[in-house]
Structure 1
Amino acid sequence: MAVLKRTKGGATRPLIVTLLVIVVIAALGFAYATPYIALNNLKRAADARDAQTVNQYVDFPALRESLKQQVAGLLTRRLDAHSNGNPLAAIGAMIGVALIGPLVDAYATPDGVAALLNGMPPRGDPGERPPVPAATNTPSDAAATSPAPAAPATGTAANGNGNAAPPQPPQTTAGYRGINEFVVTYQHGAGDARYSAIFQREGVFTWKLAAVNLNE
């Protein structure tokens, strides 16, 4: 009987070890994927203007402070590039500083987060507000709203004013820059400036948008 018990125990032990290894691997895989999941959930919520869900994935005090620093740096670089000893540069600097607060207030919102995650960062222009991302219809939505297929357009894109088609979505790359930092970088073209949205880890599995870098 004692031999039988030892045999059963010896057969059970490898099964327990295997299950523990599987659980550990699954937990590590989920932990690695959590910032990608947070990014996807935040973008969907921001595009839908779901403020309650956006609040779960954004550290607004930290984002607001980061926006202040980044917009101030953006305006400073612009003034340095155009001043060339011009005494009016000081006036421009004061005006620029006055613009920072309203611009930050506009971008530290679900609308602003949606703009940031759709390749539309602040430019530091007077009275600037986050642009509204273009609505995208799913195939089912298109079928419901378009009873008959439209005739093919000729020449320039038919958008009502003869202009070219809207710009394509930005090129996006995402990845870790440390165990507690996850960065999403946006660029519209090879020669265009890049900027990034920075997520910070909170706890083990939680990530929040906490900063931007407008001079990536």
Structure 2
Amino acid sequence: MTRTTKSVFVTFVVLVVVAALGFVYASPYIALDRVKRAADARDAQTVNEYVDFPALRDSLKQQVTELLTRRIDIQKSGNPLAVIGAMIGAALVGPLVDSYATPDGVAAILNGIPPRGNPGERPPAPASVAAGSGTDTAGSSANAVTNGTGSPTVPASGLASGQEAPKPPQTTAGYRDFNTFVVTYQHGAGDARYSAIFRRSGLISWKLVAVDLNG
């Protein structure tokens, strides 16, 4: 092998390694884009490939229960009717979790519409979620903020009584550690945030496993 041939071979190997590392780094962004598109299209088979539903269900149950517990604690010294409403909501945690641990719920979570713990709350209808979606999240740089990432306009039928349609959220996506990738949503300065949490499932495979309603 001549010196020129060796140089070409080494250059080729380096390029392949760099490309492979780049693909590994970008893999959670690609997974996020694919699962969001699949959820918006209600492609249950593809959604199942990118969502660990048992883990997501456990996370939703814990997060919604903690949300309602905090709400009751805050309202104990306030309006008794508000406390009763929060207690009713706590009794409905199971149905709420069941409704969000679905492709409809995944689509809502990834479009900036998390559960709020309101009585009778369900994810919005498929058409309303898909209407504003279509943002290409793959290829985004870590910690890049994107405004107007396709949050839908939700009709009254998809919201609990008195709940307003959300504004388009700001999203921040990036690695928390080598095996954890977090997408954080916030509708405006000072507003509450929440996060969708992906966990590595293999070298380049990722699954949505949890939500953090505290941001």
- Please, what TM-score do these two structures have when normalized by structure 2? 0.77
Superposed, 1:121-136 pairs within 5 Å as 121-132=114-125, 133=129, 135-136=131-132
Counterpart in 2 of 1:17? 10
Counterpart in 1 of 2:39? 46
Query: Is residue 200 from structure 1 mapped to residue 199 from structure 2 by the alignment?
Result: yes
In the alignment, which of 26, 29, 33 is matched to residue 26 of structure 2?
A: 33
Superposed, 1:135-214 pairs within 5 Å as 135-136=131-132, 168-214=167-213
For 1:156-209, what per-residue CA distance to the aligned partner results, in whole angstroms no more than 9, with x for missing partners?
Answer: xxxxxxxxxx75411111111100011111111112100010010001000111
Identical counterparts, % of pairs = 72
Q: Distance in 2 between matches of 1:16 and 1:214?
A: 50
Runs of 4 or more off by more than 4 Å in structure 1? 85-94
Counterpart in 1 of 2:48? 55
Superposed, 1:65-80 pairs within 5 Å as 65-80=58-73
- Please, what TM-score do these two structures have when normalized by structure 1? 0.77
What is the identity, as a one-letter code, of the residue corresponding to 1:45? A
Q: Distance in 2 between matches of 1:117 and 1:85?
A: 34
For 1:74-102, what per-residue CA distance to the aligned partner results, in whole angstroms no more than 9, with x for missing partners?
Answer: 00110110012999899767644421111
What is the identity, as a one-letter code, of the residue corresponding to 2:111? N
Q: CA shift at 1:131, angstroms?
A: 1.5
Counterpart in 2 of 1:152? none
SS in 2 for 1:192: coil
SS in 2 for 1:177: strand
Q: Distance in 2 between matches of 1:168 and 1:88?
A: 28
CA contact (8 A) 2:85 2:119 kept: no
CA contact (8 A) 1:111 1:130 kept: yes
SS in 1 for 2:115: coil
CA contact (8 A) 1:79 1:92 kept: no
CA contact (8 A) 1:197 1:213 kept: yes
Q: Distance in 1 between matches of 2:130 and 2:54?
A: 28
CA contact (8 A) 1:173 1:186 kept: yes
CA contact (8 A) 1:199 1:210 kept: yes
CA contact (8 A) 2:64 2:93 kept: yes
Moved more, 13-22 or 81-90: 81-90
* Structure 1: segments with no counterpart, 5+ residues: 1-7, 139-165
Alignment: residue pair count: 183
Q: Cα RMSD (Å) of the superposition?
A: 2.6
Q: Distance in 2 between matches of 1:17 and 1:84?
A: 71
Cα separation, partners in 2 of 1:77 and 1:56, compared to 1, 3 Å: same
For 1:53-72, what per-residue CA distance to the aligned partner results, in whole angstroms no more than 9, with x for missing partners?
Answer: 11111010110010011001
* Structure 2: segments with no counterpart, 5+ residues: 135-164
